[in-house]
A and B are shown apart, each in its own frame.
Chain A
């Protein structure tokens, strides 16, 4: 088989794309320059009372900018569509696009459904009114779907650990020597220095990030909310103590903390596991208090809900903290063995993120507790936890949702950092941080093994930030 070029037979589109991108950049720069010097007049109005398009040179420029942007996006979509149809005939781009077919289908379905029903979907639906938010959401969901499908061995072309002789450090598009029928014929993004497929490793790496980052952030939120609400609501010495502890953790150098936590000697003392015992307790406390405060007037309902929600949580909790052959090994029903490395990474990420969440929640609580509806709840004799969880927390959700998105981004970068320093995860793990670290060693000769995971990390975090921006913008428009 022949080596693949980047675009194969659709190379005719390349000059067009180039022209479109260059035109867009020039127009964008000119646009910015104009906006500095030209002040805009009042808005023009149509006869029917609606706002007319802006006239004059600034109006023309922004119109041009929109057109070129549309052209670029359209061209990119054409590349993807042609790739799906033509596969490896359309070069590396085409072949990759074809491999991502399940992701494209899932994304199309998700966007179509969301846009159709966006008026009934609350804040999530409003996201589809903001182009920025849509782009961000698209990027995020691309990696989420990639992560999900890669778990079912879709998308990936080769096993992430298989080394194929002769593929060491080969450039993207190199055909696999002696590929049999049913085997994929190329290393799409080349091979790394152990002759493994870079493309498959990047795709598999998405699975690890998509699994850990949101859950770790969610756990950090549970800890932060469960402690931040009473600290802000009650105040006093409880607040002073917790805030001091939070400051202490925040002041400790994060990387050093990680090094300490993953040192084998410390792992052997069981410290990360004990931390997991404490930190994983918070979601249960949160759920328990949430149910209790809501149904405390109807004990019957309260018990039923508690049983329904808490039983599975307790089972998962015990299974999660239990690991055979370590300090905590007492639970027979360990139905999912969590790899020790993942647990350590998870615990450290939750541990360093929760103080920040704590501070945000505490601040929001202190603001909202002065509202009249909180006073109204107090005067009808509501318990403090009901007020905190049902009167205050729902009204703090705006900033919290935005921060949640941003925080998944930080967590993703943190995971990359951990992998890069080889902390926690095993060295053969395909996660992006580890892969970048391995590619780094030969960076001056071979660029291709390090760049794909780096771009993946970049696009996911960028997507999360854009999503947060879009959410913030739309939530303010209410």
Chain B
């Protein structure tokens, strides 16, 4: 198919409604959705899971499956109604004029085919070019997505590349046919933060270079701010607000958008003086949507008889702004500039004595080449944790930050007693526990050190009731003498995590993600835990639920004087809730200090890059762009010298190539602030803040 020139919007979606049909009922997934994408423009589609944003993308691709149907409205691609096109025409457009990039890169690549073949296939099928031309084109595109050694990459299989490289290949594949429209469905969710930053940077650059329009689907407001020109906020199948990034971020005109921004930890939020405000209630199921405004039941400005009248609420334009629309009846009455009603300010918990102390903790794994009969063959040592030293105090939150493979999970395992340390000490109340595996620990110790897991869908045993699982934890920790006493305590624990007592008899599958996570927290506190390791407890939850769960953790901490070890890669939330921060890279602690010390210069170069990589959903923030080259090295063969030297942008500043030969020593920059780096004091002093709040 020849591509014709066309002026005007690339994609025009007008009053689109998509429904899925089941034997029981019609389930409307998208209702009255309109958006237009101009040439070269990037439009962000934001919303929580289940709001219909991916359905819109599938609707554009006309890939709704057997049960899905477009029941109203139209989708025009370059001015032509896609509903009128034949299957052949659609097939010609897909992959050649509209390309899509999915979340999981490995799932989009054929594992049995070499990268080069897969890339060459695209122009060979769509444009019928010769194999030689296709190869040249593939080589060109792989160079464009900044992969090292493109020829070798073309010759490799998908599994030989890292996640970040795979996603670059998927992007390259999408660009092979120079599409007019690129749909990106959460393209970086599966990647690490620094890799994500690099991929986002790349997408932006390529968008400019090729003049491609983009529809960027994400749940992350910060990411949309960085990549898009316009934004469309969706809630429960409807677009609730759409407009340019500046208008929506700074002059929002819909209560949901406002609530969303108030529930994410932006710089300035603080767990004590300015806590986050979670959106009350739950996301409505598609077939249980309320009358009138979908957001009504959760809205602060709800007006009985008006917001829940039976008529559908239309999108209303906002005067003076460029194509800024909102789906709210009361937007002209609401005082949007009014400051947020402050939630009750909380007393800062007093930080008490040292509870946990790590000294030069080391954990090495031996990986033998021939695992079948054990022994024999050469052995490799993986240094998962290298000289970890820190202490944690009562009612303190210590955040442990790092990307995958940095050794934070190993550290948690050693602390919990699932593994024993290779060297060094762990002192719990001055008792050594590093060599005591969990079977040999007394119940009190086990109950005192507990863990909250990351994946809410995996943290509860699916075939046991919620109550039974908590009671079992109580049994194991030896709490309560009788069955009734334990049951009573279990109900109190449900109260503690603010779940209705009726949930005790429910099965985990009947609970939402946030509710499951609460049960996980209740279970962790069953033995009056004093130290709780929270392994990314909110990263798999939706934004509006995240705030509530975070708050709950903080509240329990205040009450119980718990020491919280908060493992996360999300620096926004770390800044919000932690007292001290520890940054890890490849098993080493590269920086440790109070939150203020870590978040302001001087930084360790890795911390600096991390800070720059985290997207922040605030237009008044100016960030310095630091993009790390390459991927995290494998722990199996770490680079010599400083572990970060392969990606460090300050390496040249250190004389004599010291970084490549010698492991940097731990240096104390200030009281309680330590850094593992060769950089001289004066260079460190010259560092400028990565995140700056623009002068208002």
How many Å lie between the Cα of A373 and that of B462 in the bound state?
A: 9
Instruction: Please encode chain A, from 430 to 472, with 1 for each CB lying within 8 Å of some chain B CB and 0 for all others.
Output: 0000000000000000000000000000000000000000000
Nearest B residue to A381 by beta-carbon distance?
B446
Residue of A45, A372, A391, A478 with most partner-chain B CB within 10 A: A372
Does A15 make an interface contact (CB < 8 A)?
no
Instruction: Please encode chain B, from 476 to 488, with 1 for each CB lying within 8 Å of some chain A CB and 0 for all others.
Output: 1110000000000
Instruction: Please encode chain A, from 104 to 148, with 1 for each CB lying within 8 Å of some chain B CB and 0 for all others.
Output: 000000000000000000000000000000000000000000000
- Do B527 and A380 touch (CB < 8 A)? yes
**Contact A373 B438, CB 8 Å, known A51-B22, A240-B372, A381-B446:** no
A236 / chain B contacts, CB cutoff of 8 Å? 374
Does B6 make an interface contact (CB < 8 A)?
no
B526 / chain A contacts, CB cutoff of 8 Å? 380
Does A397 make an interface contact (CB < 8 A)?
yes
A165 / chain B contacts, CB cutoff of 8 Å? none
- Do A297 and B461 touch (CB < 8 A)? no
Does A332 make an interface contact (CB < 8 A)?
no
- Do A50 and B25 touch (CB < 8 A)? yes
- Do A45 and B26 touch (CB < 8 A)? yes
Does B695 make an interface contact (CB < 8 A)?
no
How many Å lie between the Cα of A329 and that of B473 in the bound state?
A: 47
How many of B's residues come within 8 Å of A, CB to CB?
45
**Contact A297 B453, CB 8 Å, known A42-B66, A50-B25, A378-B418:** no
- Do B464 and A394 touch (CB < 8 A)? yes
How many Å lie between the Cα of A334 and that of B130 in the bound state?
A: 84
Q: How large is the interface on A (under 10, 10 to 19, 20 to 34, 35 or more residues)?
A: 20 to 34
Does B509 make an interface contact (CB < 8 A)?
yes
**Contact A372 B454, CB 8 Å, known A45-B21, A50-B24, A380-B527:** yes
Q: How far is the CB of B235 from chain A (nearest CB, A)?
A: 22
Task: List which B522-537 residues lie within 8 A (CB) of chain A.
Answer: 523, 526-527
Choose from A375, A379, A383 the contact partner of B439 (Cβ within 8 Å). A383
Choose from B438, B454, B455, B461 the contact partner of A395 (Cβ within 8 Å). B461
- Do A381 and B21 touch (CB < 8 A)? no
- Do B372 and A379 touch (CB < 8 A)? no
How many Å lie between the Cα of A22 and that of B416 in the bound state?
A: 69
Does A162 make an interface contact (CB < 8 A)?
no
Choose from B22, B453, B478 the contact partner of A375 (Cβ within 8 Å). B453
Q: How far is the CB of B210 from chain A (nearest CB, A)?
A: 34
How many Å lie between the Cα of A362 and that of B443 in the bound state?
A: 30
Choose from B26, B416, B475 the contact partner of A379 (Cβ within 8 Å). B416
B446 / chain A contacts, CB cutoff of 8 Å? 379-381
How many Å lie between the Cα of A49 and that of B23 in the bound state?
A: 9
Task: List which B322-379 residues lie within 8 A (CB) of chain A.
Answer: 372-374
- Do A49 and B25 touch (CB < 8 A)? yes
Choose from B418, B441, B455, B463 the contact partner of A397 (Cβ within 8 Å). B463
Does B466 make an interface contact (CB < 8 A)?
no
**Contact A379 B463, CB 8 Å, known A43-B21, A43-B66:** no
- Do B463 and A395 touch (CB < 8 A)? yes
Choose from A297, A377, A382, A391 the contact partner of B478 (Cβ within 8 Å). A297
Choose from B447, B450, B455, B476 the contact partner of A372 (Cβ within 8 Å). B455
Does B67 make an interface contact (CB < 8 A)?
yes
Nearest B residue to A237 by beta-carbon distance?
B374
- Do B451 and A376 touch (CB < 8 A)? yes
B463 / chain A contacts, CB cutoff of 8 Å? 394-395, 397
- Do A379 and B21 touch (CB < 8 A)? no
Instruction: Please encode chain A, from 369 to 402, with 1 for each CB lying within 8 Å of some chain B CB and 0 for all others.
Output: 0011101111111110000001100110100000
Instruction: Please encode chain A, from 2 to 39, with 1 for each CB lying within 8 Å of some chain B CB and 0 for all others.
Output: 00000000000000000000000000000000000000
Q: How far is the CB of B244 from chain A (nearest CB, A)?
A: 37
Nearest A residue to B474 by beta-carbon distance?
A297
Task: List which A284-311 residues lie within 8 A (CB) of chain B.
Answer: 297-298
Nearest A residue to B27 by beta-carbon distance?
A49
Does B458 make an interface contact (CB < 8 A)?
yes
B458 / chain A contacts, CB cutoff of 8 Å? 371-373
Task: List which B429-452 residues lie within 8 A (CB) of chain A.
Answer: 438-439, 441, 443, 446-447, 449-451
A378 / chain B contacts, CB cutoff of 8 Å? 416, 418, 438
Does B459 make an interface contact (CB < 8 A)?
yes
- Do B418 and A379 touch (CB < 8 A)? yes
Does B141 make an interface contact (CB < 8 A)?
no
Choose from B19, B26, B441 the contact partner of A381 (Cβ within 8 Å). B441
- Do B473 and A380 touch (CB < 8 A)? yes
B451 / chain A contacts, CB cutoff of 8 Å? 375-376, 379
A49 / chain B contacts, CB cutoff of 8 Å? 19, 21, 25-26
Task: List which B163-218 residues lie within 8 A (CB) of chain A.
Answer: none
**Contact A372 B69, CB 8 Å, known A379-B451, A394-B464, A478-B509:** no
- Do A50 and B476 touch (CB < 8 A)? no
Residue of B418, B461, B520 with most partner-chain A CB within 10 A: B461
How many Å lie between the Cα of A395 and that of B508 in the bound state?
A: 13
Nearest A residue to B527 by beta-carbon distance?
A380
Does B616 make an interface contact (CB < 8 A)?
no
B441 / chain A contacts, CB cutoff of 8 Å? 381
How many Å lie between the Cα of A391 and that of B476 in the bound state?
A: 14
A381 / chain B contacts, CB cutoff of 8 Å? 438-439, 441, 443, 446, 476
Instruction: Please encode chain A, from 38 to 57, with 1 for each CB lying within 8 Å of some chain B CB and 0 for all others.
Output: 00001101001111000000
Does B460 make an interface contact (CB < 8 A)?
yes
A298 / chain B contacts, CB cutoff of 8 Å? 475
B416 / chain A contacts, CB cutoff of 8 Å? 378-379
Q: How far is the CB of A370 from chain B (nearest CB, A)?
A: 9
B461 / chain A contacts, CB cutoff of 8 Å? 373, 377, 391, 394-395
B453 / chain A contacts, CB cutoff of 8 Å? 372, 375-376
Residue of A51, A371, A376, A391 with most partner-chain B CB within 10 A: A376
Q: How far is the CB of A258 from chain B (nearest CB, A)?
A: 32
B418 / chain A contacts, CB cutoff of 8 Å? 375, 378-379
Known contacts A43-B66, A43-B67, A373-B462; 12 further A-B pairs (Cβ under 8 A): A45-B26, A48-B26, A50-B26, A51-B23, A297-B475, A373-B461, A376-B451, A376-B520, A378-B438, A391-B461, A395-B463, A478-B509
In the complex, 21 of the A-B residue pairs with CB atoms within 8 angstroms, ordered by the A residue number, are A45-B21, A49-B21, A50-B23, A50-B26, A51-B21, A376-B451, A376-B523, A377-B461, A378-B416, A378-B418, A379-B417, A379-B438, A379-B446, A380-B450, A380-B473, A380-B523, A381-B446, A382-B476, A390-B464, A394-B464, A478-B509
Q: Which 3 pairs across A and B sit closest by C-beta, in order of nearness?
A: A49-B26, A394-B463, A372-B458
